[in-house]
Amino acid sequence: SLLILIDSVRPPENALMGKLIDGPTKKKVTIPSRGRIIQADLYRPHRQGRQFPLLLVHGVNPLGKDDEQLVLLAKDLARAGFLVLVPDLEGVKTLRIRITDAEDILQSFLYLSRAEHAGSRGGMMGISCGAGPLLLASADPRIRDKVSVVATVGAYYDLRNVLSFTMTGAYEYGGHRGYVRPEASLRWMFAYRNLDLLRSSDDREKFRQIIEKRNRYEVAAAESLAKSLGPEGRALHAFLVNTDQERFAPLYENLPLPVREYVYQLSPAR
């Protein structure tokens, strides 16, 4: 446990555990889910006998399962005796998280539970945004009796609260309140990756142009184009440009139904 913690704060090239304990074997596998194939890596420890299966889910990272720090963690967990599976989740990688990602995680866990020498019960570990769909998958009736351990790092509970903090910088927890200057680029990047939530194709195209103009610091042109958006597009735009905590709730309630449904479906709070 101490070696894993040490390696978690060191760059992979300075990892310590691999110098003391033989590395696991790594095998590329494929997992069927929703009529398509998920690419994944299976890390198997050298020790013999039954092994505790552990599903490791990455966060928002374009490298996905191949991120060096994640690979190191998977190897270290396998060195400690876990049978580790790391699926590559396209939606999570690209900040296009959907409820279907929970199904991919569920199918990955089922695949892992059927692996050779896997124990009858297993665990899940999720990082950042990947922990949201992981928590939803772990509660699914198809596998919840097989999941005995769930660990998360930087997970979220209610996605609406995450949006409130992202948009306004205001937070409250355990009686403590505070403010952090919101990062404007994050909201526009999230919107750009999820324009399909808008039902109007005209609004989607105009929103794409608005965000691209903002990225080029053509703010006046972007604001002018925003005036030609339809009702749903204008509601989303008003929500995205707001930084006032007092206005967050009414602007959120005015968002298009698919956007609010998206937030609800992906919140483990439910």
Secondary element (H or E) of residue 126? strand 122-127
Cα 51 to Cα 110: distance, rounded to the nearest angstrom: 15
Cα 69 to Cα 148: distance, rounded to the nearest angstrom: 25
Residue 185, pLDDT score: 86
Residue 143, pLDDT score: 96
The tokens of 196 are what? 């399909």
Residue 147, pLDDT score: 97
pLDDT per residue rounded down to tens, the chain (270 residues): 999 999 999 899 999 999 999 889 999 999 999 888 999 999 999 888 899 999 999 999 999 999 999 999 999 999 999 999 999 999 999 889 999 999 999 999 999 999 988 888 999 999 999 999 999 999 999 999 999 999 999 999 999 999 999 999 999 888 899 999 988 888 999 999 999 999 999 999 999 999 999 999 999 999 999 999 999 999 999 999 999 999 999 999 999 999 999 999 999 998
pTM given for the model: 0.90
Strands (E), 128-212: 147-153, 170-173, 176-179
Nearest to 42 by CA among 19, 67, 24, 62: 24
Number of other residues whose CB lies within 10 A of the CB of residue 176 = 7
Q: Tell me the residue type at 110.
A: L
Contact assessment for residue 89 and residue 130, using Cβ atoms and an 8 Å cutoff: yes
- Read off the pLDDT of residues 85-136 as tens digits, 9 standing for 90 and up: 999 999 999 889 999 999 999 999 999 999 988 888 999 999 999 999 999 9
Residue 228, pLDDT score: 97
Residue 191 Cα to chain centre, angstroms: 15
- Quote the radius of gyration of the chain (alpha carbons, Å): 21
Cα 223 to Cα 190: distance, rounded to the nearest angstrom: 19
Residue 132, pLDDT score: 94
Residue 54, pLDDT score: 98
Cα 181 to Cα 190: distance, rounded to the nearest angstrom: 18
Residue 16 Cα to chain centre, angstroms: 28
